[in-house]
């Protein structure tokens, strides 16, 4: 099972012949992709964006493709997933999880194209007509309540019915009294600006000690937030349930976990009310469907993390359509340069009322434009969220 069997009959996609990786630079971060080709003239795409190590991720993707994919049948998604995960023995951590996720996406894209159906038809079909999304990344600039309030109103005016932001600056472990006051004022200003009918989610970026996280529960309670996301590092996962028991609103998290085995402790400790697996980090469609099913047995909702490109947004929409306990999907698409959409032609757009409509094209309906990639090479940008000024997200 951990060796490609070239004697087994293949499906209509044929066998994998070669794999390419492509990197796209933006003012925010570099996006990474795989494109997988078969001997039937088909190609499938997947996203392998790593927040800071996309070049390393692309190198591992090329190596893993040589070891585990060439000659394989894309229809054998479960076996390919296992081969990519176990076949490298040490399993690759975050970089390996992203590579596996991107390849799993590409397999589904190939299958959809071979059968002439959208990917969501392969993963349980649809249990909703469209997917609701929330906006992130809208709050670059000075951390001033009036500035954030104006930006929040502008974003809601574009049709979004839900927003998320990190108001905490470069805080780590603790917040000074002045920093806590400023952060809470930012949340209050945004809530007042958008009114009571727009969902507001607050991001913690997994960096506060228990005492600070507990203080945030009290400080944020008046603003009716939809969740507080990853308030503590996951090295303190055993304390999440304690914090959750005190919280007047849901606690969410899970973007840092890459498969069901890493999620095991999160479920076992009842750490969160909402899991946030990323389709380009948590094992692709094959694995996220399993995570959603496990979450359902715990009475937990699924709100996929997606700080990646419009390709991952598209992939996430296909997955979300068939997840019965789906809540809402993250998107940064509104802050990206127009050429990003040219690079991933066919990515699903966000509608004027903050949703993505049900797709109709075979596979994901996305093709990568090599010319655009050539015009915008990687920037190797790094934002250290523990350094002063990162939170301004200035794209220069």
Give the catalytic positions in this structure.
205, 305
Q: Which of 8, 22, 10 is closest to 54 using CA atoms? A: 22
- Which element (helix H / strand E) includes 214? helix 210-220
CA 283/CA 352 separation, integer angstroms: 31
- Which element (helix H / strand E) includes 133? strand 130-135
Question: CB neighbours (10 Å) of residue 361?
Answer: 16
Question: CA-CA distances (angstroms) from residue 211 to 32, 185, 214, 368?
Answer: 38, 20, 5, 47
Angle between helices 145-157 and 177-194 (to 10 degrees): 30
Question: CA-CA distances (angstroms) from residue 4 to 63, 71, 130, 339, 359?
Answer: 15, 7, 38, 38, 33
Q: Is 297 exposed, middle or buried (0-12, 13-18, 19+ CB in 10 A)?
A: exposed
205-231: b (≥16 Cβ within 10 Å) or e: bbbbbeebbbbbbebbeebebbbbbbb
Write the CB contacts of 381 (distance below 8 Å, at least 6 apart in sequence).
27, 28, 29, 30
- Which element (helix H / strand E) includes 367? strand 367-368
Q: Which of 168, 187, 165 is closest to 178 using CA atoms? A: 168
Q: Would you state the torsion angle of the CA atoms of residues 86, 87, 89, 94, taken in this order, to the nearest 10 degrees?
A: -70
Q: Is 279 exposed, middle or buried (0-12, 13-18, 19+ CB in 10 A)?
A: buried
Q: Taking a C-beta distance cutoff of 8 angstroms, is the pair 100, 280 a contact?
A: no
């Amino acid at each position: 099972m951990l060796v490609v069997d070239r004697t087994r009959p293949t499906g209509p996609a044929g066998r994998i012949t070669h794999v390419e990786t492509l990197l796209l630079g933006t003012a925010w971060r570099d996006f990474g992709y795989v494109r997988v080709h078969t001997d039937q003239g088909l190609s499938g795409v997947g996203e392998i964006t790593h927040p800071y190590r996309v070049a390393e991720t692309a190198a591992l993707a090329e190596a893993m493709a040589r070891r585990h994919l060439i000659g394989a049948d894309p229809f054998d998604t479960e076996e390919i997933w296992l081969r990519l995960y176990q076949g490298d023995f040490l399993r690759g951590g975050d970089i390996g999880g992203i590579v596996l996720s991107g390849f799993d996406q590409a397999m589904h894209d190939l299958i959809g194209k071979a059968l002439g159906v959208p990917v969501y038809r392969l993963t349980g079909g649809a249990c909703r007509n469209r997917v609701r999304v929330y906006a992130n990344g809208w709050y670059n600039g000075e951390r001033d309540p009036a500035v954030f309030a104006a930006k929040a109103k502008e974003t809601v005016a574009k049709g979004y019915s839900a927003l998320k932001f990190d108001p905490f600056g470069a805080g780590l472990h603790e917040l000074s009294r002045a920093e806590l006051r400023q952060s809470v004022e930012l949340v209050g200003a945004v809530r007042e600006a958008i009114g009571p009918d727009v969902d507001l989610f607050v991001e913690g970026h997994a960096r506060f000690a228990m005492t600070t996280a507990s203080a945030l529960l009290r400080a944020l309670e008046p603003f009716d937030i939809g969740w507080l996301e990853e308030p503590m590092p996951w090295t303190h996962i055993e304390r999440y349930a304690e914090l959750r028991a005190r919280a007047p609103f849901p606690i969410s998290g899970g973007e840092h976990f890459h498969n069901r085995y890493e999620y095991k402790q999160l479920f076992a400790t009842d750490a969160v009310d909402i899991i946030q697996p990323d389709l380009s980090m948590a094992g692709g469609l094959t694995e996220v469907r399993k995570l959603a099913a496990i979450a359902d047995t715990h009475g937990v909702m699924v709100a996929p993390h997606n700080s990646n490109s419009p390709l991952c947004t598209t992939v996430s929409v296909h997955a979300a359509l068939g997840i019965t306990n789906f809540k809402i999907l993250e998107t940064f698409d509104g802050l990206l340069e127009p050429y990003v959409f040219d690079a991933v032609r066919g990515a699903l757009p966000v509608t004027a009322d903050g949703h993505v409509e049900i797709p109709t094209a075979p596979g994901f309906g996305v093709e990568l434009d090599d010319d655009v990639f050539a015009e915008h090479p990687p920037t190797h940008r790094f934002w250290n969220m523990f350094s002063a000024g990162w939170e301004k997200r200035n794209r220069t």
